[in-house]
């Protein structure tokens, strides 16, 4: 390659694309998915904020991004699977139209990400308030905890949501 | 991706959310919240984020949200909760209404030169990135947020509409309209059709002379003429990395790649028919198309021949 082309992303692509693709192919066992994910990894690298240099360990950075993308895509599939199971049990008139389906899936995906790391009880209390619309007192009665505890759960959950959102 | 906000401010926002939702919020609290939001840009952002969180919960029907979330990798049942039934509170209306200055109509003409890309933030917070050799008019009114794309390409990241009534966001081309149902998409107008690519959210394409449109979801792209819509295809993200001044090609035909690069330089850029179908992968800088051409010469069996800087042909080596 010509030495005048000293653009880091180009060099990175030339040197590491083949290797990353083979690594993903081994992980996923699917050449098409591996090609897509390798491509997405470079996309992510290119679009990440403040992409100055790529550090001294470009391979570590690339596998880090690729792993994140793999996990991301598994989680999306998991949310979609759970959604499909749910609507399979709904009466037809309650099944969302194809137009609103993507909106709901996107919202569900974000909600899942916001609540992912919350302790079970906090998550449970928060969902009772945000989804079922219970009052804090009703939640306290239902979970057999004090109103102060419910408020603490809510604060923790809101803070987690705000930190992820 | 998101701008970072001081965790202390996020904590205060969480406190206010709890206070509002607890049912014991007073008018004084509401005034205090309004004041709190005005303290800094970060305070305002934190509050917007909180509204977005509630928006996510409100946009999923309760009958679907609860069940779906339970089915996701969590085995513990919420048990008796269901026996309690669903008791819905008043939704978003209980939250503070937007406090914004009166809306003002805003129009502007924008042009970019060949090779130029320009960032623009509109009064509603929507961000435009106008690509090379493009021109557009921005027509915002009380009823609608509209971009008239006359030539070229624009990448749009819509913001939540701060106006009291929700206004549609549309991009008008000579072939019809693309109506944003979501957040991040691009429109490119050509001679015979307008191409739409959706990165996030969704966009409805409405050809000027068709009775109904077609909705594109995130990760999809398509094109429309004045009276027809092309088949939906998976998003070819390669074509959208221009946002970062690069073209990331994956098995792209050399002729197509040159068409793309040609949009960013003056003159004629073409290749000999015998190499037009060569498959190219790689990362090519758009702001220095000469460097991209040298890269092609270094990696493919082609040579760059140039009569003048204006007339460039890639030939078999």
Q: What is the pLDDT of residues B223-234, one digit of tens each?
A: 999 888 888 888
* Closest partner CB to A151 (pick from B18, B202, B283): B18
CATH architecture of B106-235: Sandwich (2.60)
Return the higher-pLDDT residue of A43 and B77. Answer: A43
Q: Which candidate in B22, B72, B183 is best for mutational testing of the A interface (most A CBs within 10 A)?
A: B72
Joined tokens for residue A31: 């050449």
**What's the pLDDT at B107?**
46
**CA-to-CA distance for A138 and A125, rounded, in angstroms?**
10
Who wins on pLDDT, B106 or A43?
A43
| CA–CA dist B100, B37 (Å, integer) | 12
Please answer whether residues A158 and B17 qualify as being in contact, where contact means their C-beta atoms are separated by less than 8 angstroms.
yes
Q: What is the pTM for the complete model shown?
A: 0.51
Whole-angstrom distance, CA of residue B202 vs CA of residue A87: 21
- Give Cβ neighbours of residue B299 (< 8 Å, ≥ 6 apart): A1, B282
* CA-wise closest residue to B263 among B136, B132, B111, B151: B132
pLDDT classification of B98: cutoffs 50, 70, 90: very low
Nearest to A162 among B46, B60, B86 (CB): B46
Q: Could you give the ipTM of this predicted complex?
A: 0.78
Report CB contact under 8 Å: B202, A13: no
* Residue A86 pLDDT greater than 90, yes or no: no
- CA B270/CA B265 separation, integer angstroms: 12
Set of chain B residues whose Cβ sits within 8 Å of the Cβ of A120: 74, 76
Cβ neighbour number for residue A64 with a 10 Å cutoff: 12
Q: Which residues on A lie below 8 Å from B37 (Cβ)? A: none
Burial B53-68 (b: 16+ CB within 10 A, else e): bbebbbbbebbbbbbb
Residues 6+ apart with CB under 8 A from B48: B160
Q: Which fold has domain A117-165?
A: Arc Repressor Mutant, subunit A (1.10.10)
pLDDT at residue number B121? 85
Contacts of A115 in chain B (CB under 8 A): 69
- A107–B59: do the CB atoms touch at under 8 Å? yes
CA dist., res. A99 & res. A105, Å (int): 11
Looking from the CA of B97 toward its CB, the CA atoms found within 13 Å total: 8
Are A1 and B299 in contact (CB < 8 Å)? yes
Of B2, B68, B215, the CB nearest to A86: B68
Average the pLDDT over each of A31-45, A46-60, B106-120, B145-159 and give the range with the smallest value. A46-60
Alpha-carbon distance B151 to B193, whole Å? 12
Q: What is the CATH number of domain B240-316?
A: 3.55.50.30
Tell me what percent of the residues of chain B surpass a pLDDT of 70.
84
Size of interface A-B (CB pairs under 8 A): 187
- What one-character-per-residue DSSP string does chain B give? -PPP--HHHHHHHHHHHHHHHTT---HHHHHHHHHHHTT-HHHHHHHHHHHHHHHHHHTS-HHHHHHHHHHTT-----GGGGGG---PPP-GGGSPPP--PPP--EEEEEE--TT--EEEE-TTS-EEEE-TT-EEEEEE-SSEEEEEEEEEEEEEE-----SSS--EEEEEETTEEEEESSSEEEEEE-SS-EEEEEEESEEEEEETT-S--EEEETTEEEEE-SS-BPPPEE--GGGGGGGGTEEEEEEEEHHHHHHHHHTTSSSEEEE-GGGTT-EEEEEEESS-HHHHHHHHHHHSSEEEEEEETTEEEEEE-
For the segment B266-306, what is each residue's pLDDT rounded down to a tens digit? 888 989 999 999 998 888 888 888 888 988 988 889 999 88
Report CB contact under 8 Å: A5, B281: no
The set of residues, in sequence order, having a beta carbon less than 8 Å from that of B64 and lying 6+ positions away, is A83, A86, A87, A90, A96, A104, A108
Evaluate if residue A55 carries a pLDDT over 80. Answer: no
Q: Do B12 and B29 touch, CB atoms closer than 8 A? A: no
Instruction: Report pLDDT digits (tens) over A95-145.
Output: 888 778 888 888 899 899 899 889 989 999 999 999 988 999 999 999 999
Res. B200: pLDDT tops 90: no
| A161 φ/ψ angles, rounded to the nearest 5 degrees | -60, -45
Q: Which residue of B has its CA nearest to A79?
A: B72
Contacting residues of A for B181, CB less than 8 Å apart: 103
**Domain assignments of chain A as residue spans, ordered by start:** 1-95, 117-165
Contact B22, A96 (CB under 8 A): no
Instruction: Return the higher-pLDDT residue of B310 and B230.
Output: B230
Q: Of B250, B269, B249, which is closest to residue B259 (Cα–Cα)? A: B269
**Contact state of B282 with A90 under an 8 Å Cβ cutoff:** no
In chain A, the residue whose alpha carbon lies closest to the alpha carbon of B51 is A162
Q: Show me where the domains of chain B are located.
A: 7-72, 106-235, 240-316
Q: Contact at 8 Å (CB) between A139 and A150? A: yes
């Amino acid at each position: 390659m010509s030495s005048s082309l000293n653009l880091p992303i180009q060099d990175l692509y030339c040197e590491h694309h083949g290797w990353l693709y083979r690594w993903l192919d081994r992980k996923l066992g699917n050449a098409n998915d591996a090609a897509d994910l390798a491509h997405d990894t470079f996309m992510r690298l290119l679009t990440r904020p403040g992409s100055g240099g790529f550090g001294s360990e470009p391979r570590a950075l690339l596998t880090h991004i690729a792993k994140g993308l793999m996990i991301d895509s598994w989680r999306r599939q998991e949310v979609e699977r759970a959604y499909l199971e749910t609507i399979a049990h709904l009466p037809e008139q309650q099944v969302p139209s194809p137009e609103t389906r993507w909106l709901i899936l996107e919202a569900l995906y974000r909600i899942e990400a916001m609540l992912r790391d919350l302790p079970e009880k906090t998550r449970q209390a928060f969902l009772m308030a945000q989804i079922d619309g219970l009052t804090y007192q009703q939640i306290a009665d239902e979970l057999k905890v004090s109103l102060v505890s419910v408020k603490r759960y809510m604060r923790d959950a809101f803070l987690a949501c705000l930190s992820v959102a | 991706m998101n701008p970072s906000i001081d965790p202390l401010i996020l904590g205060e926002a969480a406190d206010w959310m709890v206070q509002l939702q607890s049912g014991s919020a007073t008018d004084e609290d509401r005034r205090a919240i309004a004041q709190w939001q005005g303290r800094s840009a970060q305070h305002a952002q934190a509050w917007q984020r909180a509204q977005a969180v509630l928006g996510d919960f409100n946009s999923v029907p309760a009958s679907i949200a609860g069940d779906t979330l339970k089915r996701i990798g969590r085995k513990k049942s919420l048990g008796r909760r269901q026996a309690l039934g669903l008791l819905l509170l008043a939704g978003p209306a209980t939250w503070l209404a937007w406090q914004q200055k009166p809306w003002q109509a805003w129009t502007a003409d924008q042009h970019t030169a060949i090779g130029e890309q320009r960032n623009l933030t509109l009064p509603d917070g929507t961000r435009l990135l106008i690509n090379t050799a493009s021109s557009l008019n921005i027509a915002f009114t009380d009823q609608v947020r509209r971009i008239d794309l006359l030539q070229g390409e624009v990448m749009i990241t819509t913001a939540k509409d701060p106006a009291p009534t929700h206004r549609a966001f549309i991009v008008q081309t000579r072939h019809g309209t693309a109506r944003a149902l979501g957040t991040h998409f691009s429109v490119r107008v050509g001679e015979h059709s307008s191409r739409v690519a959706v990165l996030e959210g969704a966009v409805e394409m409405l050809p000027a002379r068709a009775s109904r449109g077609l909705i594109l979801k995130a990760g999809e792209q398509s094109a429309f003429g004045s009276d027809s819509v092309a088949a939906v295809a998976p998003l070819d993200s390669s074509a959208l990395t221009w946002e970062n001044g690069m073209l990331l090609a994956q098995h792209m035909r050399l002729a197509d790649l040159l068409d793309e690069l040609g949009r960013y330089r003056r003159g004629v850029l073409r290749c000999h028919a015998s190499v037009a179908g060569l498959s190219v992968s790689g990362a090519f800088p758009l702001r220095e198309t000469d460097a991209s051409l040298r890269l092609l010469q270094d990696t493919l069996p082609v040579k760059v021949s140039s009569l003048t800087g204006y007339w460039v042909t890639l030939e078999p080596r």
